[in-house]
Each structure stands twice: as structure tokens, then as C-alpha cells.
Amino acid sequence: MIDREEIKQELIRIAGAERVTADEMMSGHTTFRIGGPADFFVTPRDVDSLRGVLQFVRGHEIPHFILGNGSNLLVSDEGYRGVVIRIGNGFDELAAEGTGIRAGAGVLLSQIAAAARGAELTGMEFASGIPGSLGGAVVMNAGAYGGELKDIVRSVTVMTEEGEVLVIGRPDMDFGYRTSIVKKKHWTVLAADLLLQEGDPAAIDARMNELREARTSKQPLNYPSAGSTFKRPEGYFAGKLIMDSGLAGCRVGGAAVSAKHCGFVVNEGGATASDVYRLIRKVRRVVYEKYGVMLEPEVKFVGNFPDLNA
């Protein structure tokens, strides 16, 4: 069994000392602003470095997960006993050519939307306010206001579990509601090519402003959160079910169901992962008792949490 110091030294050998930290607080890497320390936090500098890190942790069966912008994660208060691999700088290429945009997995959707606007390209406006990075957005087929990543993806460059780099065209991405072939096969997104359309700058600006105002007026952007806490149940809206169940403003510790938009669980100050987790369980239980609908979290739980269905 490889020990902690051996893990650290091998990660440093592969990625470089400046890209490896121990006991990194995950609260600084999630939009919830919650999460205890990860044993090791690595930011690979390029594809070869990423491949080396993944082969090492998988070869030694060391727990690990891939992190983007941390916009859909709840990390436990105890943190993560393993290696967090951050796809960030090193995967931040961003270039527009014709009606296409090539972007690395670590680039924020808001940055890509701004680049599209600068190139007078339309089709990316829906994603301008989604807080995630491109890699995570592709994995989950992120969407908002009637648009989804599948609408604009031309191809995705991925790394398989064996370390092979593949380019997957949109027809083979198997996009669905908050899923894709990347998620199903546990691949890692490296980059994506997006196909947009020529647009009128004034119209693009108007649409982005319209969506910004809609988010500001309807979503609790003044509190840390992971965005929509629950997936949309077929035939329903999660937020309305929660509101109609009388749960608006319901609190556990520092976590609360937003009265502004009941689909959001927010950190109103000092919330722990346990607070959020217990509130999510309560919301699921009450909604199921009242409407017979079991809400499925859109948030990913990382670290040690009890069985949500227990």
C-alpha cells in the first residue's frame, strides 16, 4: 500500500511542485463555499501531465475525481480522502475562427460567451450566466433558458480511462438531460469545438442582458449555491413542487431553501455540508409525502455522506 508521502512525491514528479498542494480546503473551490480538506489537489499543466496523474492514481487505486469550477458539487465537511484533479490553467485555450469556437475544458462558459459576442457569433447566449466550466458543462449537457450544450457542440476531445485521446462528434456524444457518453464512460473532457452562427452584436447583447436580468430577478445570486439543486422531474418543476410543499425558506443550520427560487438550496452564512445534505433529504421526503415525486439531486456529493435514500 503506497503511503501519503509517496503519493505526494509522485504527484510532484508528474505535475510539478507548484501544481500540487496537500490538505487543500475545498470550500475555496466550490460555488457553495463549503468543503473540508482534500488530501491532495493537483492542477495538471497539459494533456501528458493529466494522463500521468490519472494513470498513477488509477494504477494504485487511489480515490480521485475531476474538478472543474466546482459549480455543482457538495464536498463533505471532512473533505476528500484522495486526489482532486483540477482541470484549469493548462486547459484554457480559447479561439474563434469563422463560426466556430475552440475552447479548453477549463474555460468558463461565461468567458466563451464573451468571446462569441466579441466574434459576433450567436447561439452561446443561454450559457452566459451558467457558472461552470466547459468540461463539466459538456459532461452534464448543461442548459438554461431553452438552450443546451448539445445544441452547439460540434465535437469533443476526451481522454479515455486508458489514457487515449479521442475526438467524439456530436452524433456520438449521446447527449441527454444532464448526461452524455462522457459521463457514462467516465472519460475526461479536454476541449470542445462549438459551432455557432453569425449574429447581430446588438441582438446578442440584448439577449444576454435579458437573460442576466431574468437570473437576477428570479435566482438567489446573492448567496453561494450550486445552482439548481434538483433535476427537473418529468412532468413537473422541482421549484414549484418544493414551494407548494410549504418549504420556501425552510432552514437547517446555515442552509436554506431560497424563498426567491425554491429550486435552490443556498448557503446563507456558515452552512456546513451536513446542513445542506440534511436539508436536501428533508425536501425530498416532504415533496414525496405530498406529491409522490422523489426529487433527484442535480448536485454531486463528494466525500463521506450517508446514503441519501436510507
- Quote the CA–CA distance of 241 and 296 in Å, as a whole number: 13
The angle at the Cα of 6, spanning 57 to 186, to the nearest 5 degrees, equals 5
Cα–Cα distance, 73 to 33 (Å, whole number): 10
**Over the Cα atoms of the chain, what is R_g?**
20
CB of 159 within 8 A of CB of 188?
A: yes
Q: How far is CA 75 from CA 51, 114, 182, 256, 280, in A?
A: 24, 30, 22, 17, 14
Distances from the Cα of 94 to the Cα of 105, 166, 192, angstroms = 10, 19, 10
Strand order in the sheet with 265-267: 251-252, 255-257, 265-267
Helix (H) / strand (E) element for 243: namely helix 238-244
Catalytic residues: 178, 228, 298
**Look-up: residue for cell 462528434?**
169
Cβ-contact 280, 299 below 8 angstroms:
yes
65 DSSP β-pair partners? 84
Which among 91, 100, 95, 97 is positioned nearest to 134, based on CA atoms? 91
Residues 222 and 138: beta-carbon distance below 8 Å: no
